[in-house]
Amino acid sequence: MNEWIFVVAAYLLGSVAFGIIVSKMFGLPDPRTVGSGNPGATNVMRSGKKAAAVLTLLGDAGKGWLMVWLAQHYGLTQPWVCAVAISVFFGHLYPVFYGFKGGKGVATAAGILLAIWPWLGVSVMATWALAFAMWRVSSLSALIAAGFAPIYAAAFFGFNIATATVFVLSAMLVWRHKTNIRKLLDGTEAGFGKPKAGDLPPQ
């Protein structure tokens, strides 16, 4: 019973959209009404308020990290810790408080991976940073990092439930980027520092 409380709490915390909350605090437009309509840090950055984007990033990553850390701290078994990880991520993607329309999950996934094992999180974030430095496209960087995440997990943990969980998170993240994938394939996805006329910024 206690384990299910953690799973439900993880979903509810995951459903908190920090992009919406932070934007309201800064007197900015609701990120769902501008740009891509995505309540994540990248879209909040469109406001020009870097502090708001950073707080959104920290909030979204922090909720993922916190719930997994709490599950570990209170001695939940590994299968339940993994269930909590998937639940908080699912809450971010499909938040009950916002009509089940949430973000794409990059920051929340990073927080979860850091809590599962710091070196796993660092490896995935370093992959994202390297890809971004090379191509300056946020969505492409996220997709590359998501592709490598299960490989890193398998290298660190072998083929176990933790690796399977990372694979599920990566698959969900890729699914949420399906629109970006179409834009990447047809060459209309814009990158930081090299926008294309009429394009929205990368997500």
Q: What is the pLDDT of residue 203?
A: 39
Residue 191: inside a domain: no
- DSSP state at residue 45: G
Range of the domain at 132: 2-186
- DSSP state at residue 96: G
Residue 48: inside a domain: yes
Residue 197: inside a domain: no
* Class of residue 182 by CB neighbours under 10 A (exposed 0-12, middle 13-18, buried 19+): exposed
Residue 195: inside a domain: no
Q: What is the pLDDT of residue 108?
A: 98
Q: What is the pLDDT of residue 20?
A: 96
Residue 134: inside a domain: yes
Q: What is the pLDDT of residue 96?
A: 98
Q: What is the pLDDT of residue 1?
A: 64
Q: Which amino acid is at 46?
A: R
Residue 115: inside a domain: yes
Cα 75 from chain centre: 25
Q: What is the pLDDT of residue 46?
A: 82
Q: What is the pLDDT of residue 76?
A: 97
Q: What is the pLDDT of residue 192?
A: 67
Q: How many domains does the chain have?
A: 1
DSSP sequence for 129-161: HHHHHHH--HHHHHHHHHHHHHHHHHHHH-SSH
- pLDDT tens-place values along the chain, 203 residues long: 699 999 999 999 999 999 999 999 999 999 999 887 889 998 898 888 999 999 999 999 999 999 999 999 999 999 999 999 999 999 999 999 999 999 999 999 999 999 999 999 999 999 999 999 999 998 999 999 999 999 999 999 999 999 999 999 999 999 999 999 999 999 888 776 654 444 433 33
